[in-house]
Structure 1
Amino acid sequence: MTIVQPVQIQVADKVFEAWDSLGVQGRDELLARTLTLFPEAQRKMAVWQIANAQQEIADTLTMEGPTGENNELSTQGRGAFLCLSNDESDAATVGLVGQVFAALIAGNPVITVGLKGQEIMDKIATSVPEGVIQNIAESALDSIVEANNLAGIAILCDDAAAQVLNQRLAAKSGLICQLVIENDSQNLTTIAAPHYILRFVTERAISINTTAIGGNATLLELGSLDE
């Protein structure tokens, strides 16, 4: 049986590869254009998330292997992320902005919710490719949460709500949905941590054999002489 995904998930899936392939620097250049549109506290949070991504995930690490190959370790986005907050306070809105910018700079398309989400989307949408950020009404929230292709949910809520949502996601079929929780709406201790960005990415490893033809065979032959 073919499962029809919500249209927002379909749109996000279509733009994901192109958005992710821009790299941190390419996404930074587009997102930086939006920063002046945000109030000061929200802007500082957005700037911090972008700068942190440059520090934590922008570089590809190259490691030489034992037989001469180069192993390249980098990151990529996970896919469509739902970003929302159960708290309407100003501090929580700063956190919501942090969630959105962390998800976007990591290479993921984002879906926001309700009026707060719409305000954030409106500031960003004109500077990024169409479909990279979308908004839904709260009445459509359940259909997005239940979508098989939803890669993750970043939410600002209390522990009780987080537990209920975690159990709901665990019961889903399809793609494993990453749950990224912030439960400190005033201090935003999770969202403001350097490792927060790592919840929005997966690792990608590429091994490149750079030895000459027969190089590995020569190493094996040398090893056999010790027997």
Structure 2
Amino acid sequence: MTLKQPAQIQTALTSLDQWEQLGIEERARLLNISIASLSDKPKQMAQWQLSNALSHVGENVLLPGPTGEKNELSTQGRGIFLCTSFLGDDIKEHETAIIGQIYAALIAGNTVITGSKFGNSIAEQLAKVLPKGVIQGVSTEVEETIIDSQLIAGVAALTSVEKAIELSQRLAKKDGVICQLVEETHPVDLPTIANPGYILRFITERTVSINTTAIGGNATLLELGSMEE
């Protein structure tokens, strides 16, 4: 039996292509506008996530074309991410972590649903700048339904180790696309969210191969490559 999907899921799916196709430079421009409303550590975290993404996944990479074709490696978002906290969302020091989750997921090209107190507040501010449906805030009850949805790509969670294990098992049992858990279990030091490789948890790689040779050219090059001197 197919479970009824929350309306926020459909909204996020509808907005996904438009947000991803803007490209990382334009996404960074819009997200930079929203940073003005942040303060101190949350602001620094948001700025760092954007600059880190631009340096790690910002440029397309041209790969070797051994048979004459053009191969280009690029990145794109995975889909819909739920960004939340299971450590008590009324704790002020957790705001920086939630900011890190949301900005990393968004700059990578994903749409975001958030269920935490600070996440909902951030979503309200970002919604004034970003295209409709790119980020949405939901209640705790709706959040629980979204976790079980077959249509989300991942859950970024500020959580305890015990809860992370429970979430991993819960996500692994779902049908549909592989839904990964991106957990942070150290809410003060943030070794995961502040790691330069954190952005890679929110992207997938894509290779486009374009045949730039004449008809039959690839076959000729392969034959030449196989000939003995």
State the TM-score, normalizing by the size of structure 1: 0.94
Q: Secondary structure at the match of 1:207?
A: strand
| Residues paired across the two proteins, number | 227
- 1:82 Cα deviation after fit: 0.3
Counterpart of 2:82? 82
Instruction: Map residues 72-221 of structure 1 onto 2, 5 A cutoff.
Output: 72-87=72-87, 88=89, 89-221=91-223
Change over 3 Å in CA distance of 1:22–1:175 after alignment to 2: same
Q: Quick check: 1:6 aligned with 2:6?
A: yes
| Structure-2 residue corresponding to 1:61 | 61
Structure 2: distance between partners of 1:200 and 1:44: 20
The answer to whether residue 23 in structure 2 is matched with residue 23 in structure 1 is yes
Tell me how far 1:224 sits from its aligned partner. 6.3
Runs of 4+ in 1 over 6 A off after TM superposition: none
Unaligned runs of 5+ in 1: none
Using the aligned pairs only, state the percent identity: 48
Q: Which residue of 2 aligns with 1:33?
A: 33
C-alpha change, 1:172 and 1:209, in structure 2 (3 Å) is same
Q: Which amino acid in the other structure matches residue 97 of structure 1?
A: I
Q: How far is the alpha carbon of 1:36 from its aligned partner?
A: 1.1
The 8 Å contact of residues 61 and 72 in structure 1, kept in 2 or not, is answered as yes
- TM-score of the pair, normalised by structure 2: 0.94
Q: Measured at CA, do residues 2 and 160 of structure 1 come closer, stay the same or move farther in structure 2, by a change above 3 Å?
A: closer
Give the Cα–Cα distance (whole angstroms) in 1 for the partners of residues 222 and 82 of structure 2. 51
Work out the CA distance in 1 between the residues paired with 2:55 and 2:225: 41
Secondary structure, in 3 states, of the residue corresponding to 2:128? helix
Secondary structure of residue in 1 paired with 2:11: helix
Counterparts of 1:39-50 in structure 2 under 5 Å? 39-50=39-50
Displacement of 1:221 in angstroms is 4.2
- Of 89-98 and 119-128, the range deviating more from structure 2: 89-98
Q: Is the 8 A contact 1:38 1:123 kept in 2?
A: no
Whole-Å separation in 2 of the counterparts to 1:22 and 1:211: 30
**Structure 1: which amino acid aligns with 2:70?**
N
Three-state SS of the structure 2 residue aligned to 1:74 is strand
In structure 2, relative to structure 1, the CA distance for the partners of 1:67 and 1:113 (3 Å cut) is: same
